[in-house]
């Protein structure tokens, strides 16, 4: 496995896109079968894979996104420190990419939300997704934030520093121009309204007539 990893990283450094793709597929398999080999060099390997997400060859971009999904599925909370950068780069692929790349990006973000520490995922989505100019990115961020809120629970969220940020974001998303995004935002607002502290945070961050 150690030898395979070195070989895969060397392929990833190639200028030939087919070699890059081969390297990514190899790293993905290693993540699934020998994650202990990746762990000591997790950060460097993640950076190498992340840099291929924006590759102009959509096949390479797709392989990089799928590989990151495998990292989240197998390394789980060990990927917490990589979440911010991965979310920032993958959300960008939800606009103006071929459909199969967009689907892979959505799927990888879904796997990320399921496996890393919820608080890390929530912060990354609030930082990179909610204020995006692209409707598709806001929609994806809203859907994932709703699933995180359901996972964490309003009572637990109320006691954290993120509660105010999420309340503000939910209010903004609930008024989005995209109907799906509005739906996810409104669901979050409904859940937050059921908790006294979160209700106060909503009232503080959203003008009364909007609320």
Residue 137 corresponds to which tokens in the numbers above? 């990115």
Number of domains in the chain: 1
Give counts: helices (H), strands (E), the chain: 13, 0
152 in any annotated domain = yes
pLDDT exceeds cutoff 90 at 210: no
In a domain? residue 142: yes
Confidence of residue 92 (pLDDT cuts 50, 70, 90): very high
Q: Establish if 23 belongs to a structural domain.
A: no
Residue 32 CA to residue 35 CA, distance in Å, equals 6
Structure tokens at 45: 């390997």
Q: Model's pTM, two decimal places? A: 0.93
The whole domain housing 202 covers 117-210
Asked if the structure places residue 49 within a domain, the reply is no
Per-residue confidence (pLDDT) for residue 94, from 0 to 100: 95
For 60, the token pair is 């390479």
The Cα 102–Cα 109 span in angstroms is 11
Instruction: Evaluate whether residue 22 is within a structural domain.
Output: no
pLDDT in tens, 151-197: 999 999 988 889 999 999 999 999 999 999 999 999 999 999 999 98
pLDDT digits (tens, 9 = 90+) for 131-155: 899 999 999 999 999 999 999 999 9
Q: Which region, left, alpha or beta, applies to residue 76 given φ > 0 means left and ψ of -120 to 50 means alpha?
A: left
Residue 56, domain member (yes or no): no
Q: Is residue 187 part of a domain?
A: yes
- Asked whether residue 140 is domain-assigned, the answer is yes
User: What are the CA-CA distances from residue 179 to residues 17, 75, 98, 156 (Å)?
Assistant: 39, 35, 23, 28
* pLDDT the model gives residue 209: 84
């Amino acid at each position: 496995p150690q030898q395979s990893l070195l070989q895969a990283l060397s392929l990833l450094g190639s200028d030939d896109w087919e070699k890059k793709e081969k390297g990514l597929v190899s790293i993905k398999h290693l993540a699934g079968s020998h994650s202990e080999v990746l762990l000591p060099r997790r950060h460097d390997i993640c950076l190498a894979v992340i840099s291929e997400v924006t590759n102009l060859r959509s096949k390479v971009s797709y392989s990089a996104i799928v590989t990151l999904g495998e990292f989240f599925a197998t390394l789980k909370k060990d990927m917490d420190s990589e979440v911010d950068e991965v979310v920032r780069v993958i959300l960008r692929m939800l606009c103006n990419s071929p459909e199969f790349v967009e689907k892979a990006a959505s799927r990888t973000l879904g796997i990320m939300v399921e496996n890393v520490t919820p608080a890390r995922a929530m912060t990354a989505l609030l930082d990179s997704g909610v204020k995006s100019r692209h409707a598709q990115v806001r929609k994806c961020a809203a859907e994932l934030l709703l699933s995180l809120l359901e996972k964490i629970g309003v009572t637990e969220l109320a006691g954290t520093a993120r509660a105010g940020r999420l309340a503000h974001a939910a209010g903004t998303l609930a008024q989005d121009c995209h109907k799906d995004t509005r739906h996810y935002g409104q669901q979050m607002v409904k859940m937050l309204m059921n908790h006294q502290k979160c209700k106060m945070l909503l009232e503080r961050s959203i003008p009364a007539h909007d609320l």
